Each structure stands twice: as structure tokens, then as C-alpha cells.
Structure 1
Amino acid sequence: MVLSYQQSPWNLLFFSSADFGRPKNGMLKILTGVVVVVLALFLFPMIVGILWSKGYIGGKMSREKELKGFDLQTCFFTYKQIKAATNNFDAANKLGEGGFGTVYKGMLLDGTIIAVKKLSSRSKQGNREFVTEIGMISALQHPNLVRLYGCCIEGNQLFLVYEYMEKNSLARAMFGSDDQLLALDWPTRQKICVGIARGLAFLHEESTLKIVHRDIKSTNVLLDMDLNPKISDFGLARLDEEEDTHISTQVAGTIGYMAPEYVLWGYLTNKADVYSFGVVALEIVAGKSNMKFRPSEKYVCLLDWAHVLQKTGNLMELVDPKLGSEFNKEEAVRMIKVALLCTNPSPALRPNMSEVISMLNGETAVHELGMDRSLYGSDFRALTDQLLQQPESLNTSLNAKWVGSSSITTNDLYSINKDSR
């Protein structure tokens, strides 16, 4: 049977009686072609799946290309090196666990001790954070910023390799279990507070890249052997473009440390970091977590209590009792006042970080400003009024929602406001 190119392919499926008397070679070729097409339809998805799982196509390779597409001034480690350094991720080397991965202690062949953050490659958010963190911190060098040694990306393995900080986080040193607590005397607390301020001043004002960290909190401040503080975890950081009045971005961060204008309206500037710093400064003075400060179920958080004490003129009650009388009263009062200034509801009334450093060092006077609580909205005004007038009666669902939470979304915020009415 001879076919012309004008014939429809569908005609191949039908034969006249005369066709059966002719040689069968043509029919055999047709049947062979059909079999090949059917096999291809079944095998193609299987082949694609195998290539995808091996990382030759799809998300993993595109992630690797995206990462290596950056002109990063950092070192790339192999998975074999990371595995050997951490003794195959031995549980005994586990330092902690955060929102986007587990951190392990390790040692390179040259004896360098490292901290390895292992991220989950299945989380799309984790992948973005991974790229963001490398892109941000690889261009930054400052004594009060954790140093990034390099990264590893092989198949579904994602790692960040940092300098090892012997004393772990400030949160653990102040709020951890009994065997984790450190005896932080007043000079050390003053040094830590000023060091954090210097790191933020570098990010906001001195670095070529102006950066808003977006997640300043005591768990993201690490301490070296000499208890020098270093800011870590740049996964949520954003570039602060000077020509823009603010950054438009999805709200992300940690409840209890986020500025009200950012939580309520998504208005992000470096003054959001200033607010977060103010909360951390209060924690340093008080030795208590803003997230867990609930004496007798009376107060929502440490910051609320600080405002109550400011109103009543009893700021010294905020100082950590563990210090006894061994602290500089003038410096303590100054740090509290700076913290309250940094947490002013109006971002325009907050100082920048270079001004904070000057005030903490006693080089300039602290400008005391009254808190205009109307900027918070009716829910926040009612809550603070209740604190000042009848603190013993406060036991709201809002309190329960804030304590123990780690992040907030727009839906969470709606729920919080709804429950507090």
C-alpha cells in the first residue's frame, strides 16, 4: 500500500479488502509506530519524574542556578564536607532549631569551628529565605554581625555555614533553662545593648546596602566567647531603597517585637528595626522576655509594664532583681528611657540608631516623649487604659494569643483584633 502525503493520517486506520492481499510490511510499520507512540506516552512522565527527583530539571536545578547566579563573595561547601564536619548531623552537635532550619555545631578539617544551619528544601519560603540570607549577609562585614563562611546546595540539601558563637543566643543566656542561663552583670548588659545598636546602625546608615533586618529579637542576637553581641538570621531582611518612603512587603516577623505601623498597615522602614531594638533593650534591663512577662496574669507584655512604670514614676522596678544593687543606676534609667523612645508608636518620633548609640553612651540627652496611644487604634487604647486603671482585671484572650507565638500573618492579626473586642 503506497500513501501519498495528501492522505489523512486517520485513513491509516482503515483498510479495504484489497489491502489484505498485498504485502504486510506497510501494516507492520504502522503498528510499530503506534506501539512507539503509546510507549512514549507512558514512559515520558516516568522519565521526567526521575530527572526531577535527581535534580536535573525543575525546582532544584533552578534553585541552584538562581543561587550561583549571584556574584556572591562567599565559599561553596560540598555536602560531604558538611556531613563530615557535623559528624553526620549528630544530635549531640545540635545547637538549636528555628523557623527555617536546625543549627548544628561542626568542625572543618583545618580546625575551624562552625555553625551549620540546615534548611528544609521542601519549603518554598525556606528556599527564598536561603537565597535572601546569602545575598544580604555575604556583602556585609561588621564586628556586630555574624560572619557567613559559605553555603552548600546539592540536590535537596541546603545549608548556611556561619562562624560559631560559643555562648549561643542572648535569649538563651537570659531566659533559658537553669543550666543555660549566664550571669550577665551590668557592664556586660550595657556592652551587649550598645553592640546591637552598632550593628543596626551599620545596616541602616553605614553599609553600602541599606538593610532593614525585620526580625530583631533576643533569639537573633548571638554571643561570642567574650559575650560580644552579633546580629544573625537575615532571612527576612529587605533592602531599604533611599528614594522610597517605605517598603511594601508582606508582614512577617515575630509577635511582640514588630512595630505597630508595620503590623497594622504593612508600612516598613528602618524605624521598624528601631522599635524591635527598643523591646530587646527592655529585655536586657529586666532580664525578662517581652513574650513571657505575665506576672499574676496582669499584663500583656514587658513593654506594657514599662509604660505603666513610666506613668507612675517607678522605672527602677523594671531592673532585673538578679543584679541586686550591683548596677549603674544612671545607665539603667537611661537605657530604659532610650528603649521607650525607640518603641514610640509614631515611627517619626523614634531616633535613628546612631542617635541611640550616642544616648546610650551618655553623649547626648535622652528626649523623653509622651506616648500618643491614639496611633495604635481603639483596641490598643482600651487595652492600655485597662492596664492603668484596673490592672488586676486584665486576663484577655489577646494575652493568651501573644504569648508563645513566633510569627504573625494578616489573618492572625484580624483574629487578635476580633478576640480583643
Structure 2
Amino acid sequence: MGNCLARQSDSPNSHRNSNNGSNNNHLGSSQLPIRRSTSRLLQSTSNSTLLGRSSTSAGNSRLFGPSSSKTYTTSNTNTSLLGSDISQALELRGQQEFPNGQILDVANLMEFTFEELREATKNFRVDFVIGEGGFGRVYKGLFKGRAPSRATRGGRWVAAIKRLNPDGFQGFAEWQSEVNFLGRLSHPNLVKLLGFGRENGELFLVYEFMHKGTLANHLFGRGSNVRPLPWDTRLKIIIGAARGLDFLHSLENRIIYRDFKPSNILLDENYIAKLSDFGLAKEFPSGDRTHVTTRIIGTQGYAAPEYVATGHLSMKSDVYGFGIVLVEILTGKSINDLRKHGPSLIDWLKSNLLSRGKMINAMDSRLEGRYPPRLALQVAQLALKCVQTEHKVRPSMMEVVETLKKVEAAQLHGRPDGG
């Protein structure tokens, strides 16, 4: 989806990011160091979390793995492996008790051996490949052993395995960023990181398996296996994705996702959206700062114009990307296709999606007209606010979620006029 951006534009005082295999500090001085000890990996030096505290408390990640793997935590307590504290944390993560998300006190991740991952993918067979991105190929893996009850089927359970391409766009820093962020964050709309692998120069990440694949495949894919998404499912997906971003933005130490696009939105068997690929995510300093100046990386078309022009990254940069995806949800066309209509996306939006006369032609034809026009218009108006060139006038993700929930409520109560 689009071309990757990677241009050096770091200020001397900003955190540096890296897209090669070097061990650069991707998250700055507050990141959790990745190192081995006799009983832990990712051990923090104090009880304070790198991410701060969310205003809500939650926890629903299922961080289990095969019994032959080792378990590591980020706790600085003397809890033994799979002791009572960790077991309790694991149990909580397997339950859907915390719909608003939380930062986990105990980040329990499995360390997988190369042999386990090789066996799970039948020696990384090509027909096990389910995706490919800047990090490398993603494989479907079939494991044996202890796992979340919902994941076991006939003594086996399934996961998604990312294998680093050493010649790819991303490298060790992005791998480390994934472990540091997703190892501690738990939210219904963030994909669950189950574990990792690091052996003989190879880097791996193991996630929960998302049965419906990416939003990009459903919007832009072709073929008999691709079913068009109905209007209510699209609305459900985009609300879930918005909640995921809002959670990241509402943390005490806020997180900028930086690469919001359909290929990074995964869907489970119930079409619940979960954000994946935190390799480019960046912690936002606390205080009154409005932006950080950093290296320009991301995906062309989804990166905010002020970020591309100046390297100034803010929460509103994510909002811009969200607005682009909103347009794609409505039209069924990728941003690269839409840009062929002219240089100004805003002008195109006003002339097409915000024009009642032309809207029927601009909406995704695979909807076959089965959508509430006035509610679709409200979503289009929200998209226009999100993609404004002046970042200060874009709404916050909290405001975006509130707007979309009103649209959803109007639809559920049979009020297509939104009243």
C-alpha cells in the first residue's frame, strides 16, 4: 500500500529511529532494554512503566505459548517463572473484562526457539505465507502444547509469525519497538503479541492469528475469496480502529502510531478491528509540547503533509491517516487511486463525497447502494475534518470516536438522518 517514506530529518534533541538492523534506540531513553537474565527478558529497572498509566484499567491479552518455550516478564519482582502473580496476569488477559484497555504490570511473553517456529511453519513453506510487509514475511504457524483455550483445536493452536527480512526496510529497532509496546499494552483493538524469537541473527514476532486478514484485502482485494464488506461491518471496523488509536493517544505517556493504514488493521473472525505493526510507533513526551521532530518514515499517502514537509510529528498526524482510511472505507478505492483524480484530496472530497448528487457514484460500488446516505455523509464530513492541511483544526481521536458512536447509535435506532 503506497511507497514507504524514509528521510533523515532528526533534530539533535529528538529520539532517533532506525530502519536498519543496527541496535539504535528506537524509543529513546525510557524504553525497556531487551536483554537476557537467568529468569527474565525485557526486565525494567523500576516498577514505573515506560508508558505511564491510562485513565482506564483493563487487560485482555492472551500471552501464552507452547510449554517447551520459556516465559519472561518485565516485572522487577522475584516472582518465579509462571508463579502465582504471572499466572493471575495470564488468566486476566484471557478474559474480556477490560474493554477500555490497560498497561500491563506484568508483560508475559514467550520466547520461541527457531526450531519451534520452523516446525510450526513446516520449514517456512511458501504456502504458509499469509502476508508480507516492511518487516518481512508473515506465516501461519500451527503449534502444539499449552495455549489459550479458545486457540486450541484438536491439541493444536494457530498464530501469526513475522520473520525479519534482513534486507528489508525494517530491522532490529522496529522489532524491539513491537516487543516494548505490544508486550505491555492490552486493548481489544490492539493485536496481541504472544511472543518473540531471536536466534542465530534471526528475529521473529508471534501474534494471535487474525482469521479475516487485513482491512486492505477486503477493501481492495479481488477474487472469489474476497467478500465485499457491508456498510454496518465497515462502520464497526472503523470504530474499533478509532478506539485503538484513541487508547494510544490517551495514555499518560502518549503513543503516536505513525503508520495507520488498511494493511495494518487486522480483523478477527467477528470483524473486530485490531491495530498491528508497532514498529514505527513513537512515544510522545509529556508536557506542553505540541510535536516532536523526528525522522520521516511511514507510508506515502497516509503520512500527514506537515510531517512529510517538516518532520514535525504529533497526535494529529495519526488523525490525518485515519481520515485517509475513512475515505477508503467509503469509496473502496486506495488513496493512490484517488490521488489520480487531482492534486487536492480535499477538493475531490467536497466535489464528490460531500455532494449529494455525486455521492452515489463516489461510494464503493460493491455496497450496491445499501447504506444510509445521510449517515455516510456524516462520515464523509468527519473524513474531511481529519484530512485538513492545517493540523490544529483536525479533531482529536476522542472526538472522532464520539462522532462515529453517534453515527452508529443513529443506525441502530433506525435514524439514518442522525437525529
Give the 5 Å matches for 1:50-129.
66-68=34-36, 70-71=42-43, 72=74, 73=107, 74-110=109-145, 111-121=156-166, 125-129=170-174
Alignment root-mean-square deviation, CA: 2.7
Shift in Å at residue 330 of structure 1? 2.3
Q: Which residue of 2 aligns with 1:52?
A: none
1:338 partner amino acid: L
Give the 5 Å matches for 1:156-171.
156-171=201-216
Q: Distance in 2 between matches of 1:228 and 1:255?
A: 26
Shift in Å at residue 328 of structure 1? 1.6
Shift in Å at residue 121 of structure 1? 4.0
Shift in Å at residue 292 of structure 1? 2.3
Q: Distance in 2 between matches of 1:304 and 1:93?
A: 43
Shift in Å at residue 304 of structure 1? 5.2
Shift in Å at residue 139 of structure 1? 1.1
Shift in Å at residue 362 of structure 1? 1.9
CA deviations 1:150-189 (Å, max 9, x no partner) are: 1000111110000111111100111012234222111101
Q: Which residue of 2 aligns with 1:251?
A: 296
**Cα pair distance change 1:201/1:59, threshold 3 Å:** closer
Contact 1:315/1:333 (CA < 8 Å) preserved in 2? Answer: no
Give the number of aligned pairs: 303
1:353 maps to 2:397: yes
Worse overlay, 355-364 or 245-254:
355-364
- Structure 1 unaligned runs (5+)? 1-57, 365-421
Contact 2:249/2:315 (CA < 8 Å) preserved in 1? Answer: yes
Between structures 1 and 2, the one with greater strand share: 2
CA deviations 1:312-357 (Å, max 9, x no partner) are: 5646243212212311222211111111111111111111111111
Residue among 307, 330, 335 paired with 2:350: 307
**Cα pair distance change 1:350/1:106, threshold 3 Å:** same
**Cα pair distance change 1:303/1:107, threshold 3 Å:** farther
Partner SS, residue 164 of structure 2: strand
What is the TM-score when the length of structure 2 is the normalising length?
0.67
Give the 5 Å matches for 1:206-217.
207-217=251-261
Shift in Å at residue 122 of structure 1? 5.7
**Cα pair distance change 1:298/1:194, threshold 3 Å:** closer
**Cα pair distance change 1:77/1:303, threshold 3 Å:** farther
Contact 1:95/1:103 (CA < 8 Å) preserved in 2? Answer: yes
Q: Distance in 1 between matches of 2:348 and 2:118?
A: 47
1:348 partner amino acid: K
**Cα pair distance change 1:130/1:250, threshold 3 Å:** same
Partner SS, residue 214 of structure 1: coil
Q: Distance in 2 between matches of 1:150 and 1:348?
A: 38
Q: Which residue of 2 aligns with 1:391?
A: none
Percent identical among aligned pairs is 39
Q: Distance in 2 between matches of 1:292 and 1:76?
A: 42
Higher RCO, 1 vs 2 (CA within 8 Å, ≥6 residues apart): 2
**Cα pair distance change 1:311/1:84, threshold 3 Å:** closer
**Cα pair distance change 1:306/1:124, threshold 3 Å:** closer
1:86 partner amino acid: T
Q: Distance in 1 between matches of 2:335 and 2:254?
A: 28
1:316 maps to 2:359: yes
Contact 2:242/2:401 (CA < 8 Å) preserved in 1? Answer: yes
Q: Which residue of 2 aligns with 1:417?
A: none
Point out the structure with max Rg over C-alpha.
1
- Structure 2 unaligned runs (5+)? 1-20, 26-32, 44-73, 75-106, 146-155, 409-419
Shift in Å at residue 99 of structure 1? 1.1
Q: Distance in 2 between matches of 1:291 and 1:319?
A: 16
Between structures 1 and 2, the one with greater helix share: 1
2:218 partner amino acid: A
Residue among 191, 194, 205 paired with 1:149: 194
Q: Distance in 1 between matches of 2:353 and 2:196?
A: 46
Contact 1:191/1:228 (CA < 8 Å) preserved in 2? Answer: yes
Shift in Å at residue 149 of structure 1? 0.2
Q: Which residue of 1 aligns with 2:388?
A: 344
Q: Which residue of 2 aligns with 1:372?
A: none
Contact 1:290/1:301 (CA < 8 Å) preserved in 2? Answer: no
Q: Distance in 2 between matches of 1:199 and 1:293?
A: 26
